[in-house]
Structure 1
Amino acid sequence: MSAFSERLKQLEWPFWIGVAFFVAVIFSAIYLTLAASEWLKDKKQLPIEMLVLEGDLKQVDEKAVLKALEPQMQSSFVGLDVNAAQANVENLDWVYWAAIRKEWPSTIKVNLVEQQAKAKWNDDFLLNHLGEVFKADTQKLDMFLPSLNGPINEASLVLEHYQDFSALLALHKMKAVALTFTDRHSVKLLLDNGIELKLGRENWVARIKRFLEFYPRLATQHQIQYVDLRYDTGFAVGELKEQQDTTITG
Protein backbone atom coordinates (compact mmCIF):
# COMPACT_ATOMS: atom_id res chain seq x y z
CA MET A 1 0.00 0.00 0.00
CA SER A 2 1.41 3.34 -1.02
CA ALA A 3 1.83 6.26 1.34
CA PHE A 4 -0.91 8.19 -0.56
CA SER A 5 -3.46 5.40 -0.08
CA GLU A 6 -2.62 5.15 3.57
CA ARG A 7 -3.08 8.88 3.97
CA LEU A 8 -6.46 8.77 2.13
CA LYS A 9 -7.70 5.99 4.38
CA GLN A 10 -6.81 8.02 7.45
CA LEU A 11 -8.88 10.96 6.16
CA GLU A 12 -12.05 8.92 5.51
CA TRP A 13 -12.97 8.45 9.18
CA PRO A 14 -13.09 12.15 10.12
CA PHE A 15 -15.13 12.86 6.96
CA TRP A 16 -17.82 10.29 7.70
CA ILE A 17 -17.88 11.28 11.35
CA GLY A 18 -18.53 14.87 10.22
CA VAL A 19 -21.29 13.74 7.86
CA ALA A 20 -22.96 11.73 10.62
CA PHE A 21 -22.75 14.68 13.00
CA PHE A 22 -24.26 17.01 10.41
CA VAL A 23 -27.17 14.62 9.74
CA ALA A 24 -27.75 14.24 13.48
CA VAL A 25 -27.90 18.03 13.85
CA ILE A 26 -30.42 18.33 11.00
CA PHE A 27 -32.69 15.64 12.44
CA SER A 28 -32.43 17.15 15.89
CA ALA A 29 -33.40 20.56 14.55
CA ILE A 30 -36.40 19.09 12.73
CA TYR A 31 -37.48 17.20 15.84
CA LEU A 32 -37.16 20.26 18.06
CA THR A 33 -39.08 22.40 15.54
CA LEU A 34 -41.93 19.88 15.35
CA ALA A 35 -41.97 19.49 19.12
CA ALA A 36 -42.07 23.26 19.61
CA SER A 37 -44.84 23.58 17.05
CA GLU A 38 -46.94 20.93 18.78
CA TRP A 39 -46.31 22.62 22.12
CA LEU A 40 -47.44 25.98 20.78
CA LYS A 41 -50.59 24.41 19.32
CA ASP A 42 -51.46 22.75 22.61
CA LYS A 43 -54.41 24.63 24.05
CA LYS A 44 -53.20 23.86 27.56
CA GLN A 45 -49.91 25.68 26.99
CA LEU A 46 -51.12 28.93 25.36
CA PRO A 47 -54.91 29.04 25.80
CA ILE A 48 -57.13 31.77 24.37
CA GLU A 49 -58.40 33.55 27.45
CA MET A 50 -60.32 36.51 26.00
CA LEU A 51 -62.49 37.17 22.96
CA VAL A 52 -63.35 40.80 22.18
CA LEU A 53 -66.08 41.79 19.69
CA GLU A 54 -65.69 45.24 18.14
CA GLY A 55 -68.05 47.19 15.89
CA ASP A 56 -71.45 48.85 15.96
CA LEU A 57 -73.57 45.72 16.25
CA LYS A 58 -77.34 46.01 15.94
CA GLN A 59 -78.44 42.94 14.03
CA VAL A 60 -75.53 40.52 14.49
CA ASP A 61 -76.14 37.91 17.20
CA GLU A 62 -73.10 37.80 19.50
CA LYS A 63 -73.92 34.23 20.53
CA ALA A 64 -73.87 33.22 16.88
CA VAL A 65 -70.41 34.76 16.52
CA LEU A 66 -69.12 32.76 19.48
CA LYS A 67 -70.60 29.58 18.06
CA ALA A 68 -69.04 30.24 14.65
CA LEU A 69 -65.63 30.64 16.29
CA GLU A 70 -65.97 27.58 18.50
CA PRO A 71 -64.03 25.17 16.22
CA GLN A 72 -61.03 27.54 16.06
CA MET A 73 -61.22 28.35 19.76
CA GLN A 74 -60.34 24.72 20.51
CA SER A 75 -56.81 25.53 19.37
CA SER A 76 -54.15 27.49 21.23
CA PHE A 77 -53.50 31.19 20.75
CA VAL A 78 -50.73 30.41 18.24
CA GLY A 79 -52.57 27.58 16.52
CA LEU A 80 -55.78 29.51 15.82
CA ASP A 81 -56.42 29.72 12.05
CA VAL A 82 -57.35 33.36 11.49
CA ASN A 83 -58.47 32.85 7.88
CA ALA A 84 -60.80 29.97 8.78
CA ALA A 85 -62.22 31.92 11.72
CA GLN A 86 -62.85 34.96 9.52
CA ALA A 87 -64.60 32.86 6.87
CA ASN A 88 -66.89 31.30 9.49
CA VAL A 89 -67.88 34.69 10.90
CA GLU A 90 -68.50 36.25 7.48
CA ASN A 91 -71.00 33.46 6.74
CA LEU A 92 -73.26 34.69 9.53
CA ASP A 93 -76.47 36.67 9.03
CA TRP A 94 -75.95 40.44 8.83
CA VAL A 95 -72.13 40.25 8.73
CA TYR A 96 -70.78 42.27 5.79
CA TRP A 97 -67.09 42.13 6.67
CA ALA A 98 -64.97 40.68 9.47
CA ALA A 99 -61.36 41.12 10.57
CA ILE A 100 -59.80 38.88 13.19
CA ARG A 101 -56.46 39.55 14.85
CA LYS A 102 -54.43 38.09 17.68
CA GLU A 103 -53.25 40.24 20.57
CA TRP A 104 -50.46 38.66 22.60
CA PRO A 105 -50.53 36.69 24.76
CA SER A 106 -54.11 35.37 24.89
CA THR A 107 -56.65 37.74 23.31
CA ILE A 108 -58.55 37.39 20.04
CA LYS A 109 -60.22 40.54 18.67
CA VAL A 110 -63.05 40.30 16.15
CA ASN A 111 -63.98 43.49 14.33
CA LEU A 112 -67.32 43.31 12.51
CA VAL A 113 -69.07 45.54 9.98
CA GLU A 114 -72.78 44.87 9.58
CA GLN A 115 -74.76 44.80 6.39
CA GLN A 116 -76.63 48.06 5.77
CA ALA A 117 -80.02 46.89 4.51
CA LYS A 118 -81.57 49.38 2.10
CA ALA A 119 -84.43 47.37 0.62
CA LYS A 120 -86.18 44.03 0.43
CA TRP A 121 -85.37 42.25 -2.81
CA ASN A 122 -87.67 39.85 -4.68
CA ASP A 123 -89.50 39.05 -1.42
CA ASP A 124 -86.91 36.64 0.01
CA PHE A 125 -83.69 38.68 0.00
CA LEU A 126 -82.24 42.05 0.98
CA LEU A 127 -80.09 44.67 -0.73
CA ASN A 128 -77.23 46.44 1.02
CA HIS A 129 -75.97 49.99 0.40
CA LEU A 130 -74.02 48.81 -2.65
CA GLY A 131 -76.97 47.04 -4.21
CA GLU A 132 -75.54 43.64 -3.31
CA VAL A 133 -78.00 40.84 -2.58
CA PHE A 134 -77.80 39.05 0.77
CA LYS A 135 -79.94 36.76 2.90
CA ALA A 136 -80.68 37.51 6.55
CA ASP A 137 -83.35 37.21 9.21
CA THR A 138 -85.45 40.39 9.22
CA GLN A 139 -87.37 39.74 12.45
CA LYS A 140 -85.13 42.08 14.44
CA LEU A 141 -85.41 44.95 11.99
CA ASP A 142 -86.99 48.06 13.49
CA MET A 143 -86.91 50.15 10.31
CA PHE A 144 -88.98 50.41 7.15
CA LEU A 145 -87.53 48.84 4.01
CA PRO A 146 -89.03 49.39 0.56
CA SER A 147 -89.91 46.32 -1.49
CA LEU A 148 -87.99 46.11 -4.78
CA ASN A 149 -88.52 43.51 -7.47
CA GLY A 150 -86.56 42.96 -10.65
CA PRO A 151 -84.23 40.72 -12.66
CA ILE A 152 -81.70 38.86 -10.52
CA ASN A 153 -78.63 40.41 -12.15
CA GLU A 154 -79.90 44.01 -12.03
CA ALA A 155 -80.35 44.51 -8.29
CA SER A 156 -77.93 47.44 -8.01
CA LEU A 157 -79.55 49.20 -10.98
CA VAL A 158 -83.04 48.81 -9.50
CA LEU A 159 -81.85 50.21 -6.17
CA GLU A 160 -80.23 53.16 -7.93
CA HIS A 161 -83.45 53.99 -9.77
CA TYR A 162 -85.48 53.68 -6.58
CA GLN A 163 -83.16 56.09 -4.77
CA ASP A 164 -83.37 58.60 -7.62
CA PHE A 165 -87.18 58.43 -7.70
CA SER A 166 -87.36 58.68 -3.90
CA ALA A 167 -85.23 61.83 -3.87
CA LEU A 168 -87.57 63.46 -6.38
CA LEU A 169 -90.71 62.43 -4.52
CA ALA A 170 -89.31 63.58 -1.19
CA LEU A 171 -89.21 67.15 -2.52
CA HIS A 172 -93.02 66.94 -2.62
CA LYS A 173 -93.41 65.19 0.74
CA MET A 174 -94.19 61.85 -0.92
CA LYS A 175 -92.59 58.45 -0.48
CA ALA A 176 -92.24 55.32 -2.60
CA VAL A 177 -92.70 52.02 -0.75
CA ALA A 178 -92.28 49.58 -3.63
CA LEU A 179 -90.81 49.41 -7.12
CA THR A 180 -91.19 46.73 -9.78
CA PHE A 181 -88.67 46.60 -12.61
CA THR A 182 -89.64 44.01 -15.22
CA ASP A 183 -87.38 42.04 -17.56
CA ARG A 184 -88.36 44.50 -20.29
CA HIS A 185 -87.37 47.45 -18.04
CA SER A 186 -90.93 48.60 -17.48
CA VAL A 187 -91.36 50.34 -14.12
CA LYS A 188 -94.20 50.47 -11.61
CA LEU A 189 -93.89 52.58 -8.48
CA LEU A 190 -96.13 52.26 -5.41
CA LEU A 191 -96.47 55.30 -3.14
CA ASP A 192 -97.11 55.28 0.58
CA ASN A 193 -100.61 56.71 -0.01
CA GLY A 194 -101.54 53.59 -1.99
CA ILE A 195 -101.30 55.13 -5.47
CA GLU A 196 -99.52 53.10 -8.13
CA LEU A 197 -97.60 54.95 -10.85
CA LYS A 198 -97.23 53.08 -14.14
CA LEU A 199 -94.13 54.61 -15.68
CA GLY A 200 -93.48 52.31 -18.62
CA ARG A 201 -90.07 51.75 -20.17
CA GLU A 202 -88.66 55.26 -20.63
CA ASN A 203 -88.64 58.86 -19.44
CA TRP A 204 -89.36 57.80 -15.87
CA VAL A 205 -88.24 61.00 -14.16
CA ALA A 206 -90.16 63.20 -16.61
CA ARG A 207 -93.29 61.13 -16.07
CA ILE A 208 -92.99 61.36 -12.28
CA LYS A 209 -92.63 65.12 -12.61
CA ARG A 210 -95.78 65.19 -14.75
CA PHE A 211 -97.64 63.30 -12.02
CA LEU A 212 -96.37 65.64 -9.32
CA GLU A 213 -97.45 68.66 -11.33
CA PHE A 214 -101.05 67.47 -11.61
CA TYR A 215 -101.39 65.55 -8.34
CA PRO A 216 -102.80 68.38 -6.16
CA ARG A 217 -105.71 68.83 -8.57
CA LEU A 218 -106.17 65.08 -9.10
CA ALA A 219 -106.32 64.41 -5.36
CA THR A 220 -109.27 66.76 -4.95
CA GLN A 221 -111.22 65.30 -7.87
CA HIS A 222 -110.50 61.57 -7.74
CA GLN A 223 -110.01 58.70 -5.34
CA ILE A 224 -106.94 57.48 -7.15
CA GLN A 225 -105.97 53.82 -7.41
CA TYR A 226 -103.34 54.24 -10.10
CA VAL A 227 -102.01 56.76 -12.58
CA ASP A 228 -100.91 55.40 -15.95
CA LEU A 229 -98.19 57.72 -17.26
CA ARG A 230 -97.28 55.70 -20.32
CA TYR A 231 -98.38 58.48 -22.64
CA ASP A 232 -96.36 61.11 -24.45
CA THR A 233 -98.28 64.10 -23.14
CA GLY A 234 -100.98 62.93 -20.71
CA PHE A 235 -101.99 60.16 -18.34
CA ALA A 236 -104.89 57.94 -17.33
CA VAL A 237 -106.31 57.80 -13.82
CA GLY A 238 -107.84 54.66 -12.33
CA GLU A 239 -110.24 55.37 -9.48
CA LEU A 240 -110.93 53.24 -6.42
CA LYS A 241 -114.73 53.36 -6.25
CA GLU A 242 -115.83 53.51 -9.86
CA GLN A 243 -112.94 51.29 -11.05
CA GLN A 244 -112.91 53.21 -14.29
CA ASP A 245 -110.24 55.02 -16.24
CA THR A 246 -110.16 58.76 -16.74
CA THR A 247 -107.78 59.93 -19.43
CA ILE A 248 -106.32 63.40 -19.10
CA THR A 249 -104.10 65.10 -21.64
CA GLY A 250 -101.78 67.91 -20.91
Structure 2
Amino acid sequence: MAAMASRRRGPLGSVLWNMLVQAVWPLFILAVVAGAGWGGQKLWRVWTDPTYWPVGEVIINGAGNYVDEASVRLALEPEMEKGFLGMDLYAARESLMTNAWIAQAVLAREWPNRVRVDIVEQVPLALWQGDQVMNIQGEVFRPVLDSIPDGLPVLAGAEGRQWAVWERFNTLVDVLNDSGLQLAGVKEDERGSLDLFLA
Protein backbone atom coordinates (compact mmCIF):
# COMPACT_ATOMS: atom_id res chain seq x y z
CA MET A 1 0.00 0.00 0.00
CA ALA A 2 2.89 2.32 0.77
CA ALA A 3 4.27 1.48 -2.65
CA MET A 4 0.98 2.54 -4.26
CA ALA A 5 0.97 5.85 -2.36
CA SER A 6 4.53 6.62 -3.39
CA ARG A 7 3.69 5.70 -7.02
CA ARG A 8 0.79 8.13 -7.00
CA ARG A 9 2.87 10.96 -5.56
CA GLY A 10 5.85 10.32 -7.73
CA PRO A 11 9.46 10.96 -6.77
CA LEU A 12 9.03 14.73 -6.45
CA GLY A 13 5.87 14.39 -4.33
CA SER A 14 7.59 11.97 -1.97
CA VAL A 15 10.53 14.33 -1.47
CA LEU A 16 8.22 17.30 -0.85
CA TRP A 17 6.12 15.26 1.58
CA ASN A 18 9.23 14.27 3.58
CA MET A 19 10.44 17.88 3.66
CA LEU A 20 7.02 19.05 4.84
CA VAL A 21 6.92 16.43 7.61
CA GLN A 22 10.48 17.33 8.71
CA ALA A 23 9.59 21.04 8.83
CA VAL A 24 6.22 20.68 10.56
CA TRP A 25 7.14 18.00 13.11
CA PRO A 26 9.47 20.25 15.22
CA LEU A 27 6.87 23.03 15.09
CA PHE A 28 4.24 20.60 16.35
CA ILE A 29 6.49 19.49 19.25
CA LEU A 30 7.28 23.14 20.07
CA ALA A 31 3.55 24.00 20.10
CA VAL A 32 2.78 21.06 22.43
CA VAL A 33 5.58 22.03 24.85
CA ALA A 34 4.58 25.72 24.79
CA GLY A 35 0.93 24.81 25.35
CA ALA A 36 1.80 22.56 28.28
CA GLY A 37 3.99 25.29 29.80
CA TRP A 38 1.29 27.92 29.37
CA GLY A 39 -1.39 25.61 30.78
CA GLY A 40 0.83 24.62 33.71
CA GLN A 41 1.50 28.27 34.51
CA LYS A 42 -2.21 29.09 34.42
CA LEU A 43 -3.01 26.08 36.62
CA TRP A 44 -0.29 27.07 39.12
CA ARG A 45 -1.63 30.63 39.25
CA VAL A 46 -5.12 29.36 39.99
CA TRP A 47 -3.90 26.94 42.66
CA THR A 48 -1.72 29.53 44.40
CA ASP A 49 -4.39 32.22 44.23
CA PRO A 50 -5.35 32.77 47.88
CA THR A 51 -8.95 33.48 46.92
CA TYR A 52 -9.18 30.15 45.08
CA TRP A 53 -7.39 28.01 47.69
CA PRO A 54 -7.20 29.83 51.06
CA VAL A 55 -5.86 28.35 54.28
CA GLY A 56 -9.04 27.05 55.87
CA GLU A 57 -7.81 26.02 59.30
CA VAL A 58 -4.69 26.42 61.44
CA ILE A 59 -4.14 23.82 64.16
CA ILE A 60 -1.67 24.92 66.83
CA ASN A 61 -0.21 22.37 69.25
CA GLY A 62 2.12 23.16 72.14
CA ALA A 63 1.23 26.80 72.81
CA GLY A 64 0.04 27.69 76.26
CA ASN A 65 2.50 28.60 79.00
CA TYR A 66 4.60 31.34 77.40
CA VAL A 67 3.33 31.39 73.80
CA ASP A 68 -0.33 32.12 73.12
CA GLU A 69 -2.24 31.07 70.01
CA ALA A 70 -3.07 34.67 69.11
CA SER A 71 0.62 35.59 68.78
CA VAL A 72 1.23 32.47 66.66
CA ARG A 73 -1.63 33.37 64.32
CA LEU A 74 -0.38 36.95 64.09
CA ALA A 75 3.12 35.75 63.14
CA LEU A 76 1.66 33.44 60.47
CA GLU A 77 -0.73 36.02 58.98
CA PRO A 78 1.54 37.42 56.21
CA GLU A 79 2.21 33.94 54.83
CA MET A 80 -1.36 32.70 55.28
CA GLU A 81 -2.56 35.54 53.06
CA LYS A 82 -0.75 33.81 50.17
CA GLY A 83 -3.12 30.84 50.30
CA PHE A 84 -2.66 27.15 51.02
CA LEU A 85 -0.18 26.34 48.25
CA GLY A 86 1.41 29.80 48.06
CA MET A 87 2.30 29.86 51.75
CA ASP A 88 6.06 29.61 52.35
CA LEU A 89 6.32 27.33 55.38
CA TYR A 90 10.02 28.15 55.89
CA ALA A 91 9.31 31.90 56.03
CA ALA A 92 6.36 31.26 58.37
CA ARG A 93 8.61 29.20 60.66
CA GLU A 94 11.27 31.93 60.67
CA SER A 95 8.60 34.44 61.65
CA LEU A 96 7.54 32.21 64.56
CA MET A 97 11.12 31.72 65.73
CA THR A 98 11.48 35.46 66.41
CA ASN A 99 9.51 34.75 69.60
CA ALA A 100 12.23 33.88 72.12
CA TRP A 101 9.90 31.54 74.04
CA ILE A 102 9.63 29.20 71.04
CA ALA A 103 12.40 26.60 71.17
CA GLN A 104 11.22 24.70 68.10
CA ALA A 105 8.44 25.04 65.52
CA VAL A 106 7.38 22.55 62.84
CA LEU A 107 4.82 23.51 60.18
CA ALA A 108 3.09 21.17 57.75
CA ARG A 109 0.34 21.39 55.15
CA GLU A 110 -2.51 18.92 55.56
CA TRP A 111 -4.81 18.28 52.64
CA PRO A 112 -7.03 19.96 51.58
CA ASN A 113 -6.60 23.35 53.32
CA ARG A 114 -5.23 22.89 56.83
CA VAL A 115 -1.86 24.00 58.27
CA ARG A 116 -0.55 22.26 61.40
CA VAL A 117 1.86 24.12 63.70
CA ASP A 118 3.67 22.11 66.39
CA ILE A 119 5.47 24.29 68.92
CA VAL A 120 7.92 23.35 71.65
CA GLU A 121 8.18 26.11 74.23
CA GLN A 122 11.32 26.98 76.13
CA VAL A 123 11.30 25.63 79.68
CA PRO A 124 12.85 28.24 81.99
CA LEU A 125 15.26 27.06 84.63
CA ALA A 126 16.81 30.26 85.99
CA LEU A 127 17.20 33.97 85.41
CA TRP A 128 20.68 34.62 84.01
CA GLN A 129 22.51 37.97 84.30
CA GLY A 130 19.25 39.72 85.21
CA ASP A 131 17.79 39.99 81.69
CA GLN A 132 18.17 36.52 80.16
CA VAL A 133 16.70 33.12 80.88
CA MET A 134 18.50 29.79 80.98
CA ASN A 135 16.47 26.82 79.73
CA ILE A 136 16.68 23.19 80.84
CA GLN A 137 19.34 22.49 78.19
CA GLY A 138 21.56 25.20 79.69
CA GLU A 139 21.01 27.52 76.72
CA VAL A 140 20.46 31.21 77.30
CA PHE A 141 17.75 33.18 75.49
CA ARG A 142 16.45 36.72 75.84
CA PRO A 143 12.64 37.03 76.03
CA VAL A 144 10.68 40.23 76.66
CA LEU A 145 11.39 41.11 80.30
CA ASP A 146 7.78 41.25 81.45
CA SER A 147 7.20 37.71 80.14
CA ILE A 148 9.80 36.19 82.49
CA PRO A 149 8.05 34.28 85.29
CA ASP A 150 8.62 35.26 88.91
CA GLY A 151 10.33 32.93 91.33
CA LEU A 152 13.18 31.71 89.10
CA PRO A 153 16.58 31.36 90.76
CA VAL A 154 18.80 34.34 89.94
CA LEU A 155 22.20 33.35 88.55
CA ALA A 156 25.11 35.42 87.26
CA GLY A 157 28.62 34.67 86.10
CA ALA A 158 30.99 34.68 83.18
CA GLU A 159 29.66 34.01 79.69
CA GLY A 160 29.39 30.29 78.99
CA ARG A 161 29.46 29.38 82.70
CA GLN A 162 25.69 29.25 83.20
CA TRP A 163 25.46 25.47 83.59
CA ALA A 164 28.40 25.33 86.01
CA VAL A 165 26.84 28.12 88.09
CA TRP A 166 23.51 26.24 88.02
CA GLU A 167 25.18 23.08 89.35
CA ARG A 168 26.86 25.04 92.13
CA PHE A 169 23.51 26.66 92.97
CA ASN A 170 21.83 23.24 93.24
CA THR A 171 24.56 21.93 95.52
CA LEU A 172 24.18 24.94 97.82
CA VAL A 173 20.35 24.70 97.83
CA ASP A 174 20.56 21.22 99.35
CA VAL A 175 23.11 22.30 101.97
CA LEU A 176 21.25 25.47 102.97
CA ASN A 177 17.82 23.77 103.05
CA ASP A 178 19.18 21.45 105.75
CA SER A 179 20.07 24.60 107.74
CA GLY A 180 16.61 26.12 107.26
CA LEU A 181 17.79 28.78 104.80
CA GLN A 182 16.34 29.32 101.34
CA LEU A 183 18.73 30.24 98.53
CA ALA A 184 17.32 32.65 95.90
CA GLY A 185 20.40 32.99 93.70
CA VAL A 186 24.16 33.02 93.29
CA LYS A 187 26.69 35.19 91.51
CA GLU A 188 30.05 33.76 90.47
CA ASP A 189 32.89 36.25 89.99
CA GLU A 190 35.88 35.88 87.67
CA ARG A 191 37.89 34.08 90.40
CA GLY A 192 35.13 31.50 90.87
CA SER A 193 33.99 32.67 94.30
CA LEU A 194 30.27 32.99 94.95
CA ASP A 195 27.98 35.63 96.37
CA LEU A 196 24.83 34.04 97.79
CA PHE A 197 21.38 35.64 97.80
CA LEU A 198 18.93 34.32 100.37
CA ALA A 199 15.16 34.49 100.01
Alignment match of 1:35 (pick from 30, 42, 49): 42
Task: State the TM-score, normalizing by the size of structure 1.
Answer: 0.68
Alignment match of 1:149 (pick from 131, 151, 156): 156
Residues 223-234 of structure 1 aligned to structure 2 (within 5 Å): none
Q: What's the secondary structure of 1:96's corresponding residue?
A: strand
Cα distance between partner residues in 1 of 2:194 and 2:112:
58
Q: Residues 4 and 180 of structure 1: is their aligned pair in 2 closer, same or farther, counting only changes over 3 Å?
A: farther
Which residue number in structure 2 is paired with residue 129 of structure 1? 136
Cα distance between partner residues in 2 of 1:73 and 1:132:
31
How many residues align? The count is: 190
Partner amino acid, structure 1, of 2:198: L
Q: Structure 1, residues 29-85: CA drift from partner, whole Å, max 9, x if none?
A: 111111111111101111112122111511113222111111101111111111111
Q: Report deviation, 1:167.
A: 4.3
Q: Residues 13 and 168 of structure 1: is their aligned pair in 2 closer, same or farther, counting only changes over 3 Å?
A: farther
Cα distance between partner residues in 2 of 1:56 and 1:70:
17
Which residue number in structure 2 is paired with residue 73 of structure 1? 80
Q: Which has the higher helix share?
A: 2
Q: Where do 5+ consecutive residues of structure 2 fail to align? A: 1-9
Q: Report deviation, 1:173.
A: 5.1
Which residue number in structure 1 is paired with residue 107 of structure 2? 100
Cα distance between partner residues in 2 of 1:147 and 1:115:
17
Task: State the TM-score, normalizing by the size of structure 2.
Answer: 0.83
Q: Residues 121 and 8 of structure 1: is their aligned pair in 2 closer, same or farther, counting only changes over 3 Å?
A: same
Is residue 131–residue 145 contact of structure 2 (8 Å, CA) maintained in 1?
no
Partner amino acid, structure 2, of 1:25: V
Q: What's the secondary structure of 2:18's corresponding residue?
A: helix
Which residue number in structure 1 is paired with residue 71 of structure 2? 64
